[in-house]
């Protein structure tokens, strides 16, 4: 499954927009999964989609699946989730996927403290990109099943998330964020994470409406 969809990404014509190549997605929220290579993005995507563990290979292009929310207000909501290759040479491509996205899922290997600074750098770069201004970010603190996995509170500090919020959640430019502990292999925390992301998306829309009203 993984290699088929990878192939689709690699074979796409140069002039074809990624969205043009997909069936109509009206009413579907667009979500992009980012994070360093090996953080567990593809495992999380297929666990969300098929509710089972699928063996992954490093993602060269992208994988894309429609996923339905199962909990809370996100129940029944469709998300089109893009899983983009995380290797260093592929990261410049992230920009093309985050354009016009409703939400970002930043997947983190909660054990890999050595690469936490690198993860922070990429997260900050993503958050500061003008294209992503105000887009809610779910930080999926993955691999919580492993010994030594850092807890959300500690990850919040290590990643400097307070600064990432910038002007605060009440500003359309600042980022709302949420740290969700998860294990992509068992699926623990994944749907809770999507629910938290959905709540942030709704909140952002509400704020945007209020701002519009005030401006009138
Ligand atoms: P990526 O798409 O972010 O690059 P992958 O990452 O989904 O390909 O996963 C990279 C490796 O991490 C895989 O192991 C995968 O099984 C493992 N992994 C993903 N999520 C978890 C998790 O929650 N817990 C644990 N213990 N491992 C996880 P391999 O061995 O195939 O490289
Ligand atoms: Mg992958």
Tens digits of residue pLDDT in 119-154? 999 999 999 888 898 999 999 999 999 999 999 999
Distance CA(112)–CA(23), nearest Å, equals 37
**Residue 66, SS3 per DSSP:** strand
**Alpha helix locations (H) across the chain?**
2-10, 41-50, 94-98, 116-128, 152-158, 161-164, 190-215
- Assess whether the C-beta atom of 90 lies below 6 angstroms from ligand 1: no
For the whole prediction, is pTM greater than 0.75? Answer: yes
When the candidates are 3.40.50.1000, 1.20.910.10, 3.30.499.10, 3.40.50.300, the CATH number that belongs to 23-215 is: 3.40.50.300
Alpha carbon of 42 to ligand 1 centroid (Å): 8
Shortest-distance ligand to the CA of residue 112: 1
Q: What is the pLDDT of residue 18?
A: 54
Q: What is the pLDDT of residue 55?
A: 87
In the predicted model, residues of the chain with pLDDT beneath 70 are 1-26, 166-173
What token pair was written down for 210? Answer: 């209020």
- Of all protein residues, the one whose alpha carbon is nearest to atom 18 of ligand 1 is 40
What token pair was written down for 39? Answer: 């953080």
Domain ranges for the chain, please list them. Answer: 23-215
Alpha carbon of 108 to ligand 2 centroid (Å): 12
From residue 28, alpha-carbon distances to 94, 133, 137, 176 in Å are: 20, 20, 18, 20
Distance CA(155)–CA(125), nearest Å, equals 17
Q: What is the pLDDT of residue 183?
A: 98
H or E, element range at 216 = none
Residues with Cβ within 8 Å of 155's Cβ and at least 6 positions away in sequence, in order, are: 108, 110, 139, 141, 161, 179
Query: Is there a catalytic annotation at residue 87?
Result: yes
Q: What is the pLDDT of residue 149?
A: 98
H or E, element range at 140 = strand 137-142
Cα of 100 vs its chain's centroid, Å:
13
């Amino acid at each position: 499954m993984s290699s088929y969809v990878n192939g689709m990404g690699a074979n796409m014509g140069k002039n074809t927009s990624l969205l043009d190549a997909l069936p109509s997605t009206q009413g579907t929220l667009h979500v992009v999964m980012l994070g360093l290579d090996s953080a567990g993005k593809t495992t999380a995507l297929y666990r969300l989609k098929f509710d089972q563990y699928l063996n992954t290979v490093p993602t060269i292009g992208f994988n894309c699946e429609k996923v339905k929310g199962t909990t809370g207000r996100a129940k029944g909501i469709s998300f089109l989730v893009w899983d983009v290759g995380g290797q260093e040479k592929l990261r410049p491509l992230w920009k093309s996927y985050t354009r016009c996205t409703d939400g970002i899922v930043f997947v983190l290997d909660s054990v890999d403290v050595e690469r936490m600074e690198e993860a922070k750098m990429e997260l900050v770069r993503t958050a500061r990109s003008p294209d992503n201004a105000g887009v809610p970010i779910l930080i999926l603190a993955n691999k919580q099943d492993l010994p030594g996995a850092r807890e959300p509170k500690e990850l919040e500090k290590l990643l400097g998330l307070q600064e990432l919020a910038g002007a605060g959640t009440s500003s359309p430019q600042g980022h709302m964020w949420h740290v969700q502990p998860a294990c992509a292999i068992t699926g623990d925390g994944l749907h809770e994470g999507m629910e938290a992301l959905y709540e942030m998306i709704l909140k952002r829309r509400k704020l945007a409406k209020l701002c519009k009203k005030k401006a009138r």
